Amino acid sequence: MTPRTRVAALAATLIALVAVTACSANAPGSPGTSTSPAASTPAAAPSGPASSAPTSAPAQAVTGNIDGTLFFLGTGQAGGIYYLHNNTLTLAISDPSFGFYQSATMSPDGKKLAWVLADMAGATGQLKVQTFGGGMVVLGPSTISNTYTPQWSADSSSVIVGYGSGSWGRLNVTTGVMTPMPSASGCCFGVFSPDGAYAILRNGVTNSVVHANGSGPVPIVTPSGQVYSRIQSLSPDGRHIIALLRPTGSPGGDAGRALGANAVVDTVTGAVVPMADGGQLKGGFYLPNGNAVLRMVVGGADRVRLVSPAGAVLDEVSVPPAAANHLLLGYAP
């Protein structure tokens, strides 16, 4: 199936869902799944995943393009899921509820949407999964927290959620089976790398990169004079993060949705990675192959770029004015 045919089919199934999902409410969990051998601990970093430059990171992707579908999350009364292809923005699901905004998350293959059925900050509920062109299922215990945004596995088969009293687990979205994850010392898991090999572990004001089982913590170095308000995405090799930086002394990040960022940071050195063309970063996320999908303002223009691990711009698309206030949520090839 060609990209154009694939997108046309996806568009038809998405539009058909608007009526049945317009009144849904939701909340969050968190991702990660199978450990990729390519994202194993660097040979020179016996104490943890990011203590030195990776030597076994995923192969550097030097080609690529944005020929699939970009997904955006609307806010306020425009809340819902939108998709962009060929410069046409289409509303797929309308839902202005707080719970939906807080936790709606798109699977990497672009076929499923998941959110927690809880519409107040700090509330709990089960996980609802909508398959585009298919049905809906409600899975998992009723104690899944909406303060932890669900994160999908790279193969779109499961999501990591926080539930109960500080427990973490991988919930299979087909069988409904919850596989508990080992508890990590410290406070909380944050984002997982897109292949599920690494995660951010938060403990008060300290952030560390750990293996998915919570082992081998390596503290993340913070740029001088800055603090991490939010960490949006972690690279597959555990070496870089896409984050929202604020001046030292600024209030810490809260439990709200983390879909905005202003810097790519080397977790080992604390160096801020410069953007091509002097662009201003607005948000983004890593893909399992190491490429990053970045939303940027370049020369006053709102764009989404596909960037290689080496920083090369592989492709870009313009974001139409109708999506100016929407947040970049996902990308499906």
Instruction: Classify the C-alpha dihedral 115-84-333-37 as positive or negative.
Output: negative
Q: Is the confidence at residue 326, as pLDDT, over 50?
A: yes
Total-model pTM: 0.79
Task: Determine the pLDDT at residue 197.
Answer: 92
Q: Is the pLDDT of residue 146 over 90?
A: no
Walk me through the domains of the chain, giving residue ranges and CATH numbers. Answer: 3-332 (2.120.10)
pLDDT for res 220? 96
CA torsion sign for 243, 248, 250, 251 is positive
Per residue in 2-39, pLDDT tens? 444 444 444 444 434 333 333 333 322 222 333 322 23
DSSP 197: S
- Residue 53, pLDDT score: 36
Res 132: pLDDT = 81
Given a cut of 70, whether residue 148 has pLDDT beyond it is yes
User: Could you tell me which residue, 255 or 127, shows the higher pLDDT?
Assistant: 127
Query: Which one is predicted more confidently, 268 or 32?
Result: 268
* pLDDT number for residue 212: 85
pLDDT number for residue 222: 94
Instruction: Show Cβ contacts of residue 234 under 8 Å, excluding neighbours closer than 6 positions.
Output: 191, 192, 193, 198, 199, 200, 209, 240, 241, 286
Task: Point out the least confidently predicted range of 51-55, 166-170, 276-280.
Answer: 51-55
> Is the per-residue pLDDT at 167 higher than 80?
yes
| More confidently predicted of 4 and 180 | 180
Positions of E strands within 204-332: 206-211, 218-219, 226-234, 240-247, 263-266, 280-286, 292-298, 301-307, 313-318, 327-332
Give me the pLDDT at residue 82, please: 95
| Backbone dihedral angles phi then psi of residue 307, each to the nearest 5 degrees | -120, 135
Distance CA 59, CA 15 (A): 37
Mean pLDDT of 65-75: 89
206-222 pLDDT, tens digit each: 899 999 888 899 999 99
| Sequence-separated (6 or more) residues with CB below 8 Å from residue 217 | 48, 185, 186, 201, 208, 209, 210
Closest among 148, 172, 19, 176 to 92, alpha carbons compared: 19
Pair of tokens at residue 329: 């949520």
Average pLDDT over the chain reads 80
